[in-house]
Chain A
């Protein structure tokens, strides 16, 4: 088979380069002008509400979909044209299904192992995902979590360099989730590039080097966790009697203070000891009691909820 030359345009060290990707289904754009890069060895969490375009993006990277506009390059190759080159180097975990309903986990893993020149040991992988007790149970009779874990094992059997995991721990119990995370962390240690779609924020926080938040097919934020949460204004929030004199308090603190809802106050400033001292003094002078004080940067959840707020509001 002739070795197709990787695109010169792709920067070295880039595992996945997505430029201006647009994909429409029946004229509705599932992905609309997405730009995204994933470095080799990096773990990117694609975060977004249902229908944001996460799966379509992954499917364009796998070569399942032809982009309407834009380009996708994986390890420098066109996923569709160079499928034969990329397939041995990539692993995929579909959200559901993808396995013969009447097949046993053991034989499916062995079958998939036969597709690769130097696969992982199916037996070892079966153990790692905790399916040795169900090795001869038909796929359709496995629990949802067991199906997920087999699907993960199938994604890893060929020692991939790039792995796409579509909602890898949805529906797993706590222990299975932990062991899935451990497997993914081992991949990271081995330098594997991981693209993880999830709507579980703690999963993204736990595993991802970088997070890309997409909504309605567009990239609305990306960066490391620290960058994303730092970009949010650092702030101090507290709960007290509604209707405090905001002008006076702002003046005393020398930073803006707002009352977004009755009794909930937001101080738009860093959590410095000096600020807290002044706040306490101002409240004490007026005999006001403080009920609930929070400091520090926002969580990824805050960022996510704010950025995708429109969707959350229309959700039933």
Chain B
């Protein structure tokens, strides 16, 4: 409590839960506010799923296109929201001194990061449900297993992607972040085995794809959803990316423009 000159008692503890939830709601509203910002996280994954399931033009191995596509489309969703959308949004918040201004409020950095994570989680929940509903209802998809493991992997992928997105936003200029994430996203779409079998690629490119977050997440989800259990190697790749992003990000992240 502190007292102003006119004698009013003003309680000064920070309502951390209320602050974090309000921040998360704001972040979420901003994520979905402009239609163009929803194209990447929602439009592209669903478009890929429906188009390539119905039009069998890509090498998807021996399995039905939808069985092959669901893990990849989930991986696309996670990276599109966690990495691309978060990086671009945060980069411009930094550019326009929003992050600096927040630094002058009682909102802690930890609460700020939790709020970002919550907004990503909320959007991702909608995306995942949409993908699964379209796959099951529209395309007759039936998972071979992984009903517990797959959501955990999506969560891990989301944490890793968000950490990477924040790393880019906090170290590069906003315009560079925009270009880098969009470019990276396109490359990942091609080399991660998410829309067509990675075996169709030159071997070194396929190996590289499997070592990058989208490919690793796709492989781990594929293993889980086809009932083969935990793909240890792919999961470790994801964890490693997440750790690198957190360690480098916590040292290098700049809050000011």
**Residues in A lying within 8 Å of B, measured CB to CB:** 40-41, 62, 64, 84, 87-90, 92, 94, 96-103, 107, 110-112, 114-118, 154, 158-159, 161, 189-192
Stretch of B65-73, B92-100, B117-125, B243-251 lying at the A interface: B92-100
List residues 211-238 of chain B with CB under 8 A from any CB of chain A. Answer: none
The answer to whether A110 and B101 have CB atoms under 8 Å apart is no
By a CB distance below 8 angstroms, the chain B residues around A116 are 14-15, 106
Stretch of B16-24, B183-191, B193-201 lying at the A interface: B16-24
The answer to whether A112 and B100 have CB atoms under 8 Å apart is no
The answer to whether A115 and B26 have CB atoms under 8 Å apart is no
Q: Which of A94, A101, A118, A190 contacts B101 (CB 8 A)?
A: A94
Main secondary structure of the interface of B (DSSP, over half): loop
Closest-CB distance, A2 to chain B (whole angstroms): 13
The answer to whether A99 and B104 have CB atoms under 8 Å apart is no
List residues 11-63 of chain B with CB under 8 A from any CB of chain A. Answer: 11-15, 18-19, 21-23, 26, 29-30, 33-34
By a CB distance below 8 angstroms, the chain A residues around B6 are 189-191
Q: With the chains together, A100 CA to B101 CA distance in Å?
A: 10
By a CB distance below 8 angstroms, the chain A residues around B98 are 97-100
Chain B interface residue count, Cβ-Cβ cutoff 8 angstroms? 35
The answer to whether B5 and A115 have CB atoms under 8 Å apart is no
Q: Which of B11, B19, B256 contacts A118 (CB 8 A)?
A: B11
The answer to whether A115 and B4 have CB atoms under 8 Å apart is no
Q: Which of B22, B92, B97 contacts A94 (CB 8 A)?
A: B97
The answer to whether B33 and A102 have CB atoms under 8 Å apart is yes
The answer to whether B13 and A88 have CB atoms under 8 Å apart is yes
Chain B residue at minimal CB-CB distance from A87: B106
Q: With the chains together, A265 CA to B113 CA distance in Å?
A: 66
The answer to whether B107 and A115 have CB atoms under 8 Å apart is yes
The answer to whether B106 and A158 have CB atoms under 8 Å apart is yes
**Residues in B lying within 8 Å of A, measured CB to CB:** 2, 4-6, 10-15, 18-19, 21-23, 26, 29-30, 33-34, 92-93, 96-98, 100-101, 103-108, 256-257
Query: Which 7 A-B pairs give the minimum distances between C-beta atoms?
Result: A191-B5, A98-B101, A114-B22, A97-B97, A92-B104, A87-B106, A117-B11
Q: With the chains together, A115 CA to B30 CA distance in Å?
A: 18
The answer to whether A98 and B100 have CB atoms under 8 Å apart is yes
By a CB distance below 8 angstroms, the chain B residues around A107 are 26, 29
The answer to whether A103 and B10 have CB atoms under 8 Å apart is no
Chain A residue at minimal CB-CB distance from B13: A117
By a CB distance below 8 angstroms, the chain B residues around A98 are 96-98, 100-101
The answer to whether B26 and A102 have CB atoms under 8 Å apart is no
Known: A41-B5, A100-B26, A159-B4. A115 touches B106 (CB 8 A): yes
Chain A residue at minimal CB-CB distance from B5: A191
Chain B residue at minimal CB-CB distance from A159: B10
By a CB distance below 8 angstroms, the chain A residues around B105 are 87, 112, 115, 158
By a CB distance below 8 angstroms, the chain A residues around B12 are 88-89, 117
The answer to whether B30 and A103 have CB atoms under 8 Å apart is yes
The answer to whether B97 and A190 have CB atoms under 8 Å apart is no
The answer to whether B106 and A84 have CB atoms under 8 Å apart is yes
Q: Which of A87, A100, A101 contacts B104 (CB 8 A)?
A: A87
Q: With the chains together, A192 CA to B2 CA distance in Å?
A: 12
Chain A residue at minimal CB-CB distance from B9: A118
Q: With the chains together, A98 CA to B93 CA distance in Å?
A: 8
Q: Which of A90, A103, A115, A189 contacts B14 (CB 8 A)?
A: A115
Known: A111-B22, A114-B22. A89 touches B14 (CB 8 A): no
The answer to whether B15 and A114 have CB atoms under 8 Å apart is yes
Known: A111-B23, A112-B105. A117 touches B15 (CB 8 A): yes
